[in-house]
Amino acid sequence: MKTLRIEPVASGLLLAWLQTLAATRYVNPGNSSPASPYTSWNAAATNIQQAIDVSSGGDEILVTNGVYETGGQALFSDHTNRIAVTRPVTVRSVNGPAVTIIRGVPGISSSGARCAYLASGATLSGFTLTDGGTRNKAWWLPYPTYVGGGVYCESAAAVLTNCSVLGNAADESAGGVYNGSLIDCELSGNYAGYHGAGAYRSSLAR
């Protein structure tokens, strides 16, 4: 049996080729003519999840000013995430957290909704994440439904940069952010019933 060996130069060329396939997608809540796959401002999606759902690994999703508080996706039981970044893509605001807001549904209850879920390799940059909530802890519910009111990260390879995580709540742990790597982020006014009101199992850096 022959073994295939990829030389460093060849693997570098392969990586460069894959990077050229990455697309930039756009989100503008005021756009009157959205058209998938949202690869220009004229055809921009009107909510962030639309752009995520047609993205591929390595894509960048640019999001303009607005309050994003509709839509969502449930990944565990029926607990909704306002956005679920399930691919290794970068979701970046154009003008920063002061004017680009992702709002969940506040409260620790069956109607609470988290602001964001980030898969390993995903990056969320330049947003305010506020009013996120979790389910009440119960033995029949999976762990992710009652931790990470603001953001739930699959691993340390999920990254938040330049984000403000404000006024979120979780029944057990991580009112603000569960897991993940936080760079130059603000955490304030978050609540957790047991551990880590601001962040739990996360790494923080400036």
Would you write out the chain's pLDDT as a tens digit for each of its 206 residues?
444 444 555 545 544 444 557 999 999 999 999 999 999 999 999 999 999 999 999 999 999 999 999 988 999 888 999 999 999 999 999 999 999 999 999 999 999 999 999 999 999 999 999 999 999 999 999 999 999 999 999 999 999 999 999 999 999 999 999 999 999 999 999 999 999 999 999 999 98
Q: Which amino acid is at 159?
A: V
Buried b (16+ CB within 10 A) or exposed e, 2-18: eeeeeeeeeeeeeeeee
| 195 phi-psi bin (left φ>0, alpha ψ -120 to 50, beta other) | beta
- Please name which of 194, 186, 170 lies closest in space to residue 98, comparing C-alpha atoms: 186
Strands 73-76 and 79-85: antiparallel
- Which pLDDT does position 30 carry in this prediction? 97
> Exposed/middle/buried for 58, CB within 10 Å: 0-12, 13-18, 19+?
middle
Q: What is the pLDDT of residue 18?
A: 46
| CA angle, residues 131, 133, 136, in degrees to nearest 5 | 160
Position 4 scores a pLDDT of 45
pLDDT at 21: 77
C-alpha 147/C-alpha 31 separation (Å) is 34
Cα atoms found within 13 Å of the Cα of residue 177, Cβ hemisphere only: 30
Looking at residue 7, what is its pLDDT? 55
**Which amino acid makes up residue 148?**
G
